[in-house]
Structure 1
Amino acid sequence: MKEMKIFIFLLPLVAGSHAAGQDLSGRLISIPANDGKPFVQLTPAMESPISAMTMCMRFFSVLTRAQTLFSLATPSQDNDLLLFKPSAKVYRLHVRGGALDITEFSDNVGGWNSVCWTWDSGSGLTVLWVNGKRSSRKLLQPGALITGTPSIILGQEQDTYGGGFDRQQSFEGDITDVHFWNEVISPCEINFYTEGTSFVHGNILNWKDLQYTTTGKVFVEKSDFDRTTCF
C-alpha cells in the first residue's frame, strides 16, 4: 500500500511538463515523427474576444503532404484560426470556418521558413508573409469575432475542441519563435521578426515567456535558426 501511494504521488510529476511560463529563446520544439498523437498545447495570456491578430512562427519540415502549422479552436468553432498546408507551395488560411488558399510562395523544403499571418475583422483583410515576401491582400470573414476560451495546438489540426486529430494532417519537423498579437502589427515589425532582429514580442503568445505542455514524443532542443547559439 505504501508503494502504491508513492506511485500515485509521482505520476502527475511525470505526466505534465513545463506548465509554467518558459523562456525558449534559442530553443526549438521538435516533433521528429507523428502518428497522430504528439502535439504541443499553448496557453495564451488572455481569453477576451479576438477581432484582429498577427501570428508569426518559424518551421522546418521536409514533408510535402498536408500538415498543420497552427490550430486555434474555441468551443463553438474548431477552425477559428487555422494555418494549414494542404500541399507543398500552398497555405490555407481559416477564420471562423471560412477558408482561402494562398499559392504565391515557394516553400523552403528542408530549410527554415518564417511565416507571419495577419487578419483584421473590421475590414476582413488578411495577408500572409513567407520568408519576407507578402501575399496579395485577401478578404476573409469580415465582421467575424473569435470568442470563447481558445485551445491552441501545434502539431495537430483540431476537428473538435482540443482533439479530433487526423494523422494525415499532423506536423513533422521543428517549430520555433511562435508569437501571437491581438492586433495587426506593422510590416516593419514583421520584417524585423523575419530577419531575426529585435522586434516587439507577442502579447498573447510570447516565445520568451511561453506556457505550454507537451504530449507524446516532443522534444525541446537548441535552435539552429538562431546563429547566436553557436557562440
Structure 2
Amino acid sequence: MEQRLFLLTLLCTTYAAQQDLSEKLFAFPLDKGTSNVKLFASVEQPITALTLCMRFFSSLSRGQSLFSLAVPSNDNAFLLYKPQIGVYRLHVNGMSLDIHGLPDVTDEWNSVCWTWDSSNGFTTLWINGKRSPRKILEPKATLTGAPSIILGQEQDSYGGGFDPNQSFIGDITDVHLWNSAISPCEIRSFMEGSAFVPGNVLNWKNLQYSITDSVYVENSDFDKLICF
C-alpha cells in the first residue's frame, strides 16, 4: 500500500498538465523550500531576446524568486529576483543589475514586465505601469540549450539547487514569455488588463506545467486592477 501511495504521489508531481489558466492563479501558501511549478516551453535556439510579463501578490519582505530560467551552462540565464521590498534584481547569463524606485507594493497585485534584447543589451523593467530607465545588460549574449523554467524557487543548479530562503510565498498569475522585446504599447495593455498578444514561448491561456509539493491552482481575484 505504501509503495502504491508513493508511486501515485510521484505521478501527481511529475505529470505535466496543459490547460487554459485564464482567471486562475498559482497559490504558494506555505514557507517550504521545495514547492514549485515547472513550466514547459519549446524555444528556438539560440535565445537572443526575451520579454517576461507576470503578476504576483505577496506579503514577503525577504528575498524571493519570481521567475527562474536556467540553461545547462548557466543557472541564472534569465532570472527575476526580488531581494527586498522596492528592489528587483535582473540576471542575464549570470550577470546582474538592481532596479530601485519603482512602485512596488505588498499585499496587493503587482504587474511586472521585463524586456531584454542582446542586439544592444538594452533591458527595461516595468512595475505597475512605471518603467525603469533603459539599462545595458549582457549585450551580444546568447542563451543556448533547453531552458528549465521554474516559478516559486531560484535554480542554483540546472533544474534544482533550491534555497528555502529564496522561495516565493504568495500568488502568481498571467505569466507570459516572448522571444523578443515587445513594444511599450503591448506592455501597457498587459499592465492595464486589456487585450494583448499572448506570449509565444509561454502563454497563460495554453500553459504546460507540473506542480511539486504545496502549490494550488485557484480562482484569480485580479480583475483589471487599475492602480497607475
Q: TM-score, normalised by structure 1?
A: 0.92
The letter of the residue matching 2:121 is G
- Deviation per residue, 1:170-213 (Å, 9 max, x gap): 10000000000000100000000011110000000000000000
Give the whole-Å Cα distance in 2 for the aligned partners of 1:93 and 1:139.
Answer: 11
Report SS of the residue matched to 2:66: strand
- Cα separation, partners in 2 of 1:10 and 1:112, compared to 1, 3 Å: closer
Where do 4+ consecutive residues of structure 1 move more than 3 Å? 3-17
Aligned length: 225
- Note if 1:164 corresponds to 2:158: no
1:131 is matched with which residue?
128
- Cα separation, partners in 2 of 1:166 and 1:54, compared to 1, 3 Å: same
Q: TM-score, normalised by structure 2?
A: 0.93
Give the whole-Å Cα distance in 2 for the aligned partners of 1:105 and 1:133.
Answer: 7
- Deviation per residue, 1:137-177 (Å, 9 max, x gap): 00100010010010000000000001111111110000000
- Note if 1:73 corresponds to 2:70: yes
Q: Tell me by how many angstroms 1:9 deviates.
A: 7.2
Partners of 2:85 and 2:105 within 8 A in 1: no
Which of 1 and 2 has greater Rg? 1
- Deviation per residue, 1:79-106 (Å, 9 max, x gap): 0000001111000000001100000213
- Note if 1:103 corresponds to 2:94: no
Q: Tell me by how many angstroms 1:12 deviates.
A: 5.2
Q: Tell me by how many angstroms 1:33 deviates.
A: 1.2
Q: Tell me by how many angstroms 1:49 deviates.
A: 1.4
Gaps of 5+ in 1: none
Q: Tell me by how many angstroms 1:15 deviates.
A: 3.8
The letter of the residue matching 1:116 is C
Give the whole-Å Cα distance in 1 for the aligned partners of 2:162 and 2:12.
Answer: 23
1:215 is matched with which residue?
212
Mapping of 1:8-23 within 5 angstroms?
Answer: 10=8, 13-17=11-15, 19-23=16-20
- Cα separation, partners in 2 of 1:226 and 1:96, compared to 1, 3 Å: same
182, 203, 210: which one aligns with 1:206: 203
The letter of the residue matching 1:51 is T
Give the whole-Å Cα distance in 1 for the aligned partners of 2:42 and 2:125.
Answer: 24
Mapping of 1:1-231 within 5 angstroms?
Answer: 10=8, 13-17=11-15, 19-226=16-223
Q: Tell me by how many angstroms 1:226 deviates.
A: 2.7
